[in-house]
Structure formats: C-alpha cells, structure tokens
Structure 1
Amino acid sequence: MSFVIPNKVVDVIDACTLLDSSGCYKIKPLTEIRKSGYDGNSFDNVVLWESKNHQIKRSGAVIFGSDMWTSNENTNRHLTMLGGDSEIAFQLKLYALIAHICGIYKGGSGEKLSTLQTKLAALKKFGKHLLTKGLTSFHQLTKLNDLALRTLVTEYLSNIVQTTAPMNKPRVFADCFQARESFGLIDTRTAEIFEEVLSDLFKTIEETLSHPIIPTGISARIAKFSAHVVSECGNRIEEWELYNDKLLECTRNWNQPIDEIKGADLFNRSAIKNGIISKLNELAEYFIDLKVAVYIHILQFTGMRYNEVLSCRIGCTNKSDPINAKYLIEAETHKTANTFVLDTWVCNKETFEAIKLLERYSVGMEARAELILERFRGVVQDSLVHNIEVGMTERRLFGVVHSAASISFAKSGRFEDFEVKSEHFLPLFDLTLTEADIRELDRLEQNYKQIKGKDRGVPYAVGDTLRLANHMFRHSFAYFVIANKLGELDDIADQFKHLTLAMTHVYVDKGILSHEELIDLVDGYEQLLTTAIASELAEQASNNELKGGAGERFNKAANELIIGVTNSNSPNAAVIRQIHFKDLGEFKRFLAKNIETIRGLPHGYCTAGDSCKINGASVPAGCVYCPSFIVADTHKPHWIALKNRALDKLKRISSLPLEKQKDMELFVVAYTKDLRAAEYVLNTIQDPTKSSGVSL
C-alpha cells in the first residue's frame, strides 16, 4: 500500500526508477512499482511544470497523467503521449520525464523537449507495435526467445520503419534504442538485434543532403522584395499611426450597451461606426507583409536560426550604436546551451531600420491590447484577456497578429512559409528558377527539391518554384561570406554561435573552392594584379614619382624610353643590352611581362625574386636603395608612419639623461637611418646614390 502521496516530480522518479552500478537510471517494471504501493495512475496529478502559452487551454500546470505535455521551453515542440492505460504508455511517460529532467545518469542534465520529441516518437511507434503483438510492457522483451524477438524486431523495422520514413533511422535508433539511453526499456539483447537488422536493411547509406543555398538571382529578388515592403510601410507608418489613434479614441469612448461587445470585434465595430474602417483596411493591405519582410531581412543578413529570430523582443536593437555604424540584435539562443541564453548578432543598417519600423508598428498594436485590459477586461472573453496578458508580458517583435481592426498575439505572429498576402507586393516575391539559377545549383551540387521525403534529391528544372525554407538562409549567408572572401570560419562561427569549427564547416563547404579551382583563381588574380602594378609603375615613372634603387631607374627609363638590362642585381652589374620603346604603352607591356616575380611589401615592391638577399623581409631602410626595389605612391602612408615613429623615438631618447642616451646609441643609429630613408621616399631629401642599370 502507499504510504506517501506523490506530489513532486522527484517522488515519481524515486518511486519508479533505480540506479545501476554506474549511476544510470533504470525504469522499474510496474510489478516492482506496485510493491511500493503505487500503480500506473498514482502519479497522474503530479505537476511537472507550468506552461505559459498564448492559448488559455494550453497554459497552466502540466500534469504527468496528461496525454500532451505542453512545452515549458516557450516553443511549439510539445510531447504527445501514447494514451491509454497500458504499462507501455506509462513507461513512455517515465522515459520522457527522466530524459527531460535528469538525463541518463544521476547528476546529469536533461534533454530539451525539441530533442526528445524525435526519440519519444520512435519509441512510441515501437510501443504501438508491441501492443498489436499482445505485449503490454517493454520489459516483456527479455522473456522472448531469440527467434521470436528477432522476428518481432525484423517485422517492425522492415514493415513499418523502412516503408514509412527510412531517413536517419540508424542514428535515431542509436540515440534511444539502447539499454542505457532507454533507461532499461530496451535491454542489451534487443538492442543488439536491432543493430544487426538495421545494418542489413540499411546497407546502402544514402548521401546526406544539406539544405541548399538560395541561388544568387533569387536571393537578390528576395532582398529587393523585403526592402520594398519596408520602404512602402515606412512611407505609410505615420498615416497608420494616425488612424490607429483614431481607432483607440473612438473605442475608448464606446457608448453602446456593454453586453453587445464580443471580444476583439469591439475594434472592428467601433471602426465601422466611426467611418474609418475602409482606411484601416487599405493600410492593412501594406502592413500585412511587414513581418515577412523583416523576418527575411534578419534571416538573410545575419544567419540567425529561425527560432532565434522569433525570440526577438521589442527593444532587441537597443544595444546598437547607429552613430558609429554599430548595429546589433539581441535574441535568445538555446541550440548550443541547456537553457535559453541572451546573445547578440551583428546586422547591417537596413536590417536595423527594418526592425525599428516593425517595433513602431507593434507598439501601436500593443496600444489596442492595453486598452482592452484597461477598459474592457471584464467584458471580453477570458481567453482573449489571457492571450493579451501573455503577449504583453513577452513583447515579442513578431508576436502581434496582424489585423486591420483587432488585436491578439501568437508566438510567431501567425505568419509562416513565407506566404505573401498583399497584392501590392506579391508580384515582387518571385521564386521562379531561371537557367542561371539551375547552373549555380548544379555547380554547387545542390540541385534538389527536398532533403527528405518523396522529392528527396529530385532536381529542379527551369521554371520551377524554389522551395524556400528558413534554414536555407543560414546556409546561404555562410556560403556568401566565404565564397566572396568577406570573412573566415572564425567569423561565421562567432556569428552563428557555434561551439566548434566543425559545426561551421557544414555550412561553408560549398563556399570553399576545390584545389584546382583555387589554383586557377589565384593564377588569374596574380596575372591581373601584375598588369595593374605594371600600369601603376609606368604612369608614376613617367612623372618621376617612383623611389628606390629600381624606382629611380624606371623613372629615367619611362622618360627616355630606354632601359638597360643587366646580368645581375648588383649596382655595378654590366649592362648586357638596351631595350628601346616606341611609347609608354610598350614600356608598360614590357614591365607586365618581366616583373612576374615582383613581391609586394608594406614599404614597396621587390623585383629581385628568389635572389633577394634578405628574402623580401620588411627592412625598409635596408631596401630603399636596393637596385631591385621600388617605392610607389601606394606605399607612402607606410613611410609617413615610419618617419613619425622615428622622430618620436629620437625625441624621447634625446630627453633622457646623457648616460642613458649613451646606452641607446645603437637605437639612435637605427632610427636615424629609418628617418633618412623616409625623408628620401617622401621627397624631403634627394637620393645620394646614383647608379646605372636595373635588374628585372
């Protein structure tokens, strides 16, 4: 008999589990639980947690005996139980409770409901199969002989699992169809048979398909759409606020019999009565797509996960510093943490301004909610009051449900699947794939409609409509950054809140070129760069602007259109021949062809190649008079900084006592040498050395 009435979660866990020798939880058979005075219904009224949901019927205490455990994580990932009074149904509830609250072992950490949902669904499906075979408990599997157990498992995996949704099943079963992971519901022998049968059924492992990127052409059209919506709504926000204020005023002064009011219909009736409903409807046709546009802005230009975007609250950009072009978004993340954590993402100015506009609209809508609570709380339905109270407590950026003359809240504001509703903007939201889009997807090996389901791996054709998913924006953001050399893996990892770079690499693999492509790209870039440098040098040489040993000679050659080619890099090397040019263009082409070994340094160009005695090291004062060294205008800022540094150091040394200055004599020599070289390059003194010949 029962000596203690269970009323806490810990009572349920203590009564229904034991710890094995390694400290892992094991669910007791119901016969063992009954010896303590409990049965499968003894814990039905134990409160697991409090749920705060916009819907009043899903808000409040979640109890063990319920067939649906509403999320306590402020998500829509609720747990649906098997139902019924079978021991299997009871065991599945225990599995879910322990996995969520405790984890595998005592002192561990539980899993999020969003993670647990998939595992529970797999165990629940197997539990249903056991019930059809006359079994009432998972523990009865230990009593079956090997042949019966193998037949039962094979029938389940081949007839139910493989024929319905084969994708990722080996991973799912590895996660929960093990003795330890299932808290003993699946014993070791059954787990081994599962593994053997799975290995046979899934011999051919299908290639894992990641979310494809959004083709560049479509991405540009989407960005144009969202920018246009924000712009049009921005042009009308003041007018909307004016009519919203009128709606609030006439509703506040409502003088009809109070029993005629029914919920949020109050605003609509008030707008009709006061002749402003047509204008509110007209404006609503623009603002109905504002949330979709802002949602796209954030996804497209930050790489945030969709649930992170939806967690944004009014004021999420308050840490930004627009004056210094610093734009930040604060939102909740929990993918890589056990609890929700406030974190910040960098965004661009356009996204910041789009969020501010949506905030302005949402605050205006919230004024309707405040009026309901202030003036009509006792009149409208309890469900609406509850909905408004939750919504006003959360103040989510996307939480207000759009309406011309009403008010309510929802977790996502009731917009999804990127559905564009306004006739003003629908033509701009074009997801039709062009030939260029198909070529891009083919090149990236991402031309497939779905990553799972019946269209998994099926390629798109020209004219098809792209299936747009939230997570595609995240992949596209990472691809764009890497492919366009706008950042490194570390930058994306920080923005994406990844724990390891291995997680980041999944997103950027298509942005990293193959070895051969990279070689071709670098070779082509080097050729373009060499041509550009040759053009720069020829033009500056014709104006006597180059400095350095080779620079002075290029100045002379550009003006005389004659260059002497020597047999070495020595200043005294013999000129073996002279080359005459008919014009500056020919001189430029000669340079482009013969300075392939040029090395760019912060303080100049080295043309010595492998014969450079100091291997192109950054020794400005030692390089400047070298016959293979050129200083162009590009390098002047470096020499200005070098000069200022030398002057500052020399000034500091001169201010020291004489005995200290003697200790610094070598530094004085070095800084003085740097100063003289800088003054030469910057035209404050002339080069004291003159020699003939130039090395190429």
Structure 2
Amino acid sequence: MSISFVLSECLSGTGEYNIKPYCEKRWLSLRDEIVWSGSDRIGYSREVRLSDSAWKPIGEKIGISFNELSVEFEYEFKILMLALYTSGIGEGMPPLKWSTITHGVRSLRSIAKFLFVKNIHSWMEFDGLKILARSYYCSEAINYIEATSKPRLCVSINTAIKWLNCYGLLGDKSFNLISNKIGPVVASYQKDIRKKHPVIPSKVLKQLISKVISELDIVEEHRNEWIRLQSEEICRIESGQFRIVNGRYRSLLRSGASSVASKISRVKGLVNTLVLAFTGMRDGEVLSLANDCLTSRVSESGDVQYSLISELTKTTEGSQHVEWVCGEVVAKYLNLISSLNDVVYEKARVIIEHLSSEVSDDYLNELQQGLKHKYLFVANYSLASCGFYRMNKRPNSAAFNISDFFKIPVGPSDIEQLERLGCNYKSVAPNNSDRHQRYKPGDYFNFTPHQFRHTFAWFIIANRLGELDDIRYQYKHLWQNMTLVYAQRGYESIGELLNIADEFSDHITNLTVSEIVEASLDGSIAGHGGARFSARVKEMLGSQATDTVQPHFKDMNQLVDFISKNSSDLRGVGHGYCTKAKDCKVKNVADPSHCIYCDGYIATARHLTYWKTIEINCEDKIKKIESAPDGVRAKLDSFSTVLKSNLAAARVVIKQLEPSKGINQA
C-alpha cells in the first residue's frame, strides 16, 4: 500500500481537500499500512507504518514523535502531514519539505497536548466549542507554552494554523482567533528583530584563510608519512596481525596518539572551511560532498576550470546533482583530503575482506556504508583503528567549529566595516546569549558556516566580479529576490563607493575650476580655449576685473561654484585641460600640437613643466635627425615634421604662460 491509498480513505473533496473526522473503524483498518519503506542512511532495511509512535521518512534527517497525544489528534496530525508532504496546501500546489512540515507540526503539538489535558481530543472538537470557550482555551494554551516570549514559535504557529484551516480542521473563526492572539508578536518579530547573517570582515577573513592554508600545508608535509604508516598497517591486517575490541578492529601497535595522525585529523575542518569560503555553498551541501566531487575541464584558452558536484535538496523535490564553480586553491586541498580518504577506503576494504567474520554486524555495516557513499568528511584518520562517522548535521567537534579552531580578534577597522554594512552583531541565533550583541575591539569573531555564504555574495557584487545572475546560478536559487538577500550589501557597498567617487570628482572639479579662473585673472593661461575662457571670466566678473563691464557674479567664489556645477565635460589631459569631452575629435592626446588651437583647450602654469620638457625633447631629436646622413634623414622626414609641429606648439604655450620667455626667444 502507499500514502496515496491512506489519503484516498481519509480526505474528502476535490481541489480543496478536507480531512475526514476520526473514525475508529477506519483507523483500525489503516493503522498497519506501510507509508515509507527502504534502506536507511546506514544501510538497514526499515519500514514506517501509519500507527508508529514516531515518524521519520527514509532518507530524511529529522523525525517527529506523536507521544502524549490523543488518538484523534494523532490521526489528524498524521493525515495532515501526509497531505502536505504529497500535495502541499491543496491540489496542484507544490508539496512541502519534510523539515518545514515537522517544524510546524511540532509547534502545534505543544498546543494539542495542552488541549488534551483539558479533555479536548481533536482540532475538530476544539473548533466546535462555543466562541468564549475557544477564546479561553486558546489564551490558556498560549500562556502555557509561553508563546509570547518565543517569537519564532509564534511565527511557526501562525504558519501551521493555516494548514489546519486549509484542510478543514479549523474554521475561519478559530483560525482568526489564534492568529489575532499571536499576531502582534509575529509582526514585531518580522519587522524589528529579524536580521540577516553578518558578513565576515575582510581583514578577519584574510587572516582565517591564511591560517587555514598554513595548517593544510603542514598536513601535506605529513601526508606521505601517514600513508606509509597506514600501508604498513594494512599489510599487518592481511597477515592476521590485529585485535578485536568490542566487535571493532584495533591495531596491535600503540600508535593511536601519533603526532602524525593528530596533524592529519585536522584536515577535515580545514578543507571544509576553504570550501565554504570560496564557493558560497550551504553547510549541509558541503558536508554531503562525495570524495570524487571535484571535476575539471580545460577551456578553449587553455585555462583549467574547476567545479564541485554536490547533492542539492533545499530547493528541489528529492535530490538533484548540481555544479559549483571553485578555484585552484580549493581544488588543490580537495585532492589532498581525497588522497587521504582513498587510503582509509582501502583499509576498510581489507578489514571487510579479512575480518568480516570476526567483527560485529554494526561495525561491518558502518564500513560497508562508508565504502558505498564515500562522503568527503566522514573518514576516521586514526592509525590504530578504522571507521566512518555518521554525519546527519554539522558535528560539534573542534575540527568543525571554526570559532574554536581559530581565535581571531576583531579590531577597530573590522568593527567599522561591520557598522558600515549594518551587521555589527555577534549572532543571529534565537537562543544564543550573544544574539544582536555588538563586537568590541579585542572580541573574538564568531564564525558560523552561513556567514561565508553571505560574505561570498557581498564580495563578488561589491568588487564587481559578477552580476546578480552569476550569484543566482552559483547559489542555485529559484528566484532572483532570494539571491538579492545575499547580494544586497554588495550593492550598498557599490553605491557607497560611487557616492565617495562622485564627491571626490566634485571636489577635484571645484579645485580645477578655481585654478583656471585664477590663472585667467592673472593672465597665466594658454591655449585658444584659455584665451576665450579668460575673456569670458572678466566679462562675468565685471567691475572686479574692469570698471566698464556689468558683473554677472558678486565674487569669484560664486563664479567658481557656477562653473563647477556646469563642468561635467571638463577633463584633464597630460598637458592641459579639455572642455570638449565627448565632442573632441582628436583621440590621440599624446600629440599635443593638435590641441592648442582648439577652442576647448586650456593650459595653466601647472602644465608649464610638461611643455618645457616637450620643447627640450623635440629640439634634441630634431638636431640628431638634421645631423644624420642624407639617407637616414630622408627616412625620418615624417617623424621630423611631427617633432617640429610639437616644438612650435610648445613654444606657443610657453610664450603665453611665460611672456618674458617668448621675448627672449624672439
């Protein structure tokens, strides 16, 4: 039988389903139905029946218990969960993930237990009470589970009661009653309390990566010695030199505390950190990487491109193999840990071959499952034993807890960066004592796996290394707005940088205009555009320059501000200023003779050194060409013409900027 058979017996309606009221006869006829069957994560055959007191579908990481509930509540919850797991909140809707369902049902279960104590046996019975009784019991239940002091619990309840309403277990009035009582807590939580994971300050992340790579280089130094010792132990196993302790293989040598093995054992947490930092992968996806996850291909340009193949479950129904781009550094150390794992696999294979009749069934199954799945981070690197860890979630061992592994203090610049990005808080975990607490100089940074994902997206966008769609592809998001949650700080950083650049540009423009205006009034300005600009400035300043012209501006500062605001086309070239910008027809400003007669060109005393250098350089080269043999001089005729043109231009500008120089030359 299947889940669909159970639901066909317990649901009514078309399109919008309702759960049928509990019926003892129907329940007894269905209670032994198998809803899930197969091999669990450690290889044993298993069945989950409708009547089991706890449910955990095959392949799922978490389960749920139905103890201390009435049989009616148990029936309603189980049918609701099966319906959500297969049909979502209605026909044609996407099914909900098991983790989402269990989280919601757990929050409702606490209320159901309270109602059961009050002799209310089902949600339908609660929905049939008079409105005053429902309101009273609802208030009592919320107070009993202390929901108002647990915002996340209120959010979960608010979501789960919608499921009850969709499947007819609660009517609209009961739904609104509960929703209204927890609504203010939910609204406050969603508006004021919820914060994204902070990014890792750039300086802190550089220190972390540097230390990780240094540690991994130490592991690499000891790899060959460790492989040699393991190979010798494998030979001893094959020759019958071993012992069995509690059904598990143990070496005859007392080498379990070897310094080589202790250094090698750190490799899992170190490589795990690198993958998190350089790929943006979710923690669970990194932990489920297989030993052969690394792939490479050579591009048309000859570059080697690396990627990781992982199993995606968060945004897909079931599992799906996806590709994550990674770099050469990650690839190098993935090859390192993979080579270590290969030795453990060989050791496990030899133990199965030679010791299968002497070890326990559980130990034998552990080795068989380890060889079957070959996960990247589950091997035991002890020289005195062999085994594989069962990793359903991130382990609490120091090797995987980055904050325990590396103590890196934050400095004033790190705190300033966190403040600027709006994330100067130690934790966002609901039950963490450091939740939303600010860092102070000298505090150790609190690393969490998901921070790397936010930091990776921020870094890519803020440094213009990719676009939003690139992050979306790398992160395997279904919707772009999901990616924007991670990338938003990057766009804010770009906006901040552009604002700084604009402010700097405005400041430089103002200084340049001030210089040109002062040069115009002093007469130390050159270029055809400079002459026109000088005349126009004197006209606009009026009596401040002469007594016969009506002024347009009361002082020079006002004139400078006006010109600065309307000088978006002003740009600097090596030998002066150009006011033509996009309208300039001369693209090669390295030949300055083309510029000095343009009505958009201005030179000031700042550029005098440049023009004197051109004058000296041109004179020197012209003399060398004129002293060359006739045949050589003929070949350099065009070059000589350009030099003479630039020399003439230089003398014109120098004469305008240094009138006395022009008199002497004359």
Q: TM-score interval w.r.t. the shorter chain? A: 0.7 to 0.9
C-alpha separation between the residues in 2 aligned to 1:529 and 1:474? 38
Q: Which residue identity is paired with 1:135? A: I
Tell me, in whole angstroms, the C-alpha distance in 1 between the residues paired with 2:290 and 2:641: 63
Question: Quick check: 1:336 aligned with 2:315?
Answer: yes
The alignment partner of 2:451 has SS state of helix
Bigger CA radius of gyration: 2
In the TM superposition, residue 53 of structure 1 has moved relative to its aligned partner by 1.4
**Aligned equivalents of 1:140, 1:606: Cα separation in 2:** 88
Is the contact made by 1:54 and 1:409 (CA closer than 8 Å) also made in structure 2? Answer: no
Report the Cα offset of residue 411 of structure 1: 4.4
Aligned residues: 566
| Matched residue SS, 1:445 | coil
Structure 2 length-normalised TM: 0.74
Structure 1, 498-507 or 438-447: larger mean CA deviation = 438-447
For residues 629 and 615 of structure 1, the distance between their equivalents in structure 2, rounded to whole angstroms, comes to 12
Preserved CA contact (<8 Å) 2:348 2:367: yes
- Aligned pair partner of 1:8 in 2, 8, 15: 2
What letter corresponds to residue 81 of structure 2 in structure 1? A
Tell me the secondary structure at the aligned position of residue 318 of structure 1: strand
Q: Secondary structure at the match of 2:296?
A: coil
User: 1:346 is paired with a residue of what secondary structure?
Assistant: strand
**Residue in 2 that maps onto 1:4:** none
**Contact 1:222–1:429 (Cα < 8 Å) also in 2:** yes
Aligned counterpart, 2:244:
261
Work out the CA distance in 1 between the residues paired with 2:491 and 2:373. Answer: 41
Counterparts in 2 of 1:346 and 1:203: CA distance versus 1, 3 Å: closer
Distance 1:480 1:144, change over 3 A: same
Contact 1:79/1:117 (8 A) holds in 2: yes
Q: Aligned partner of 1:564: which letter?
A: A
How far has the Cα of 1:294 moved from its partner?
A: 0.3
1:529-573 per-residue CA deviation (whole Å, 9 max, x = no partner) reads 999x9xxxxxxxxxxxxxxxxxxxxxxxxxxxx973324799xx9
- In structure 1, the residue matched to 2:448 is 469
How far the C-alpha of 1:241 sits from its partner, in A, is 0.8
Q: What residue in structure 2 maps to residue 113 of structure 1?
A: 98
194-203 vs 214-223, greater mean Cα deviation: 194-203
Q: Does 1:30 align with 2:7?
A: no
Equivalent of residue 318 in structure 1, options 272, 290, 295: 295
2:200 equivalent to 1:208: no
Question: Is 1:433–2:433 an aligned residue pair?
Answer: no
TM-aligned CA distance change 1:83 to 1:147, over 3 Å: closer
Cα distance change on mapping 1:367 and 1:393 into 2, 3 Å: same
Which SS does the other structure have where 1:261 is aligned?
A: strand
What does residue range 45-60 of structure 1 map to in structure 2 within 5 Å?
Answer: 45-54=33-42, 56=44, 60=46
Report the Cα offset of residue 245 of structure 1.
Answer: 0.6
Which residue identity is paired with 2:41? N
For residues 87-486 of structure 1, the aligned pairs below 5 Å read 87-163=72-148, 165-167=150-152, 169-170=154-155, 172-178=156-162, 183-202=167-186, 204-205=188-189, 206-254=192-240, 261-262=244-245, 265-266=248-249, 268-272=250-254, 277=255, 281-321=258-298, 324-412=303-391, 416-417=395-396, 419-420=398-399, 429-451=406-428, 452-453=430-431, 454-486=433-465
What whole-Å deviation, never above 9, does each CA across 1:103-129 have from its counterpart, x for those lacking one? Answer: 222344322212222112122222212
SS of 1:61 mapped into structure 2: strand
Compared CA separation, residues 524 and 142, structure 1 to 2 (3 A): closer
> Is the 8 Å Cα contact of residues 291 and 398 (structure 1) preserved in structure 2?
yes
What does the per-residue CA deviation read over 1:38-65, in whole Å, with 9 as the maximum and x for residues that have no partner? Answer: 2257323414232421275xx5223322
Distance 1:404 1:413 in 2: 25
In 2, Cα distance between equivalents of 1:156 and 1:180: 17
User: Offset at 1:185?
Assistant: 2.2
- SS class of match (1:319): strand
Please list every run of 5 or more consecutive structure 2 residues that lacks an aligned counterpart in the other structure. 513-523, 539-566, 603-635, 658-666
User: Which residue number in structure 2 is paired with residue 539 of structure 1?
Assistant: none
Q: 1:525 to 1:310 in 2, by over 3 A?
A: farther
- Show the counterpart of 1:505: 484
Amino acid at match of 2:32: D
Counterpart CA distance in 2 for 1:684 and 1:78 is: 88
When normalised by structure 1's length, the TM-score is 0.71
| Range that drifts further, 298-307 or 514-523 | 514-523
Instruction: Give identity over the alignment, percent.
Output: 23
Does 2:11 correspond to 1:17? yes
**Partners of 1:254 and 1:270 within 8 A in 2:** no
Write the deviation string for residues 151-187 of structure 1: whole angstroms up to 9, x where unpaired.
11222224424255223623x3343212666522222
What corresponds to 1:555 in structure 2? none
Residue 87 of structure 1 and its aligned partner are, at CA, apart by 1.3
Taking structure 1 as reference, are residues 421 and 101 closer, same or farther at Cα in structure 2, changes over 3 Å only? closer
**SS of residue matched to 2:290:** coil
SS of the residue 1:327 aligns to:
strand
1:564 and 2:558 correspond = no
Q: Secondary structure at the match of 2:294?
A: coil
Change in CA separation of 1:392 and 1:447 when aligned onto 2, cut-off 3 Å: same
CA deviation string 1:328-352 (max 9, x = no partner): 1111222222232211111121111
The one-letter amino acid paired with 1:127 is A
Distance 1:175 1:328 in 2: 38
Tell me how far apart the structure 1 counterparts of residues 193 and 404 of structure 2 sit (CA, whole Å). 37
Could you list the per-position Cα deviations for residues 596-623 of structure 1 after superposition, in whole angstroms to 9, with x for gaps in the alignment? 845699xx999644x45x64699899x9
Deviation at 1:140, TM superposition (A): 0.5
Distance in 2 of aligned mates of 1:341 and 1:108: 20
Structure 1 residue 263: Cα displacement: 6.1
Separation in structure 2 between the aligned mates of residue 100 and residue 469 of structure 1, nearest angstrom: 30
Task: Output the aligned Cα RMSD.
Answer: 4.2
Look up the equivalent residue of 1:212 and give its one-letter code: P
Cα distance between partner residues in 1 of 2:56 and 2:306: 36
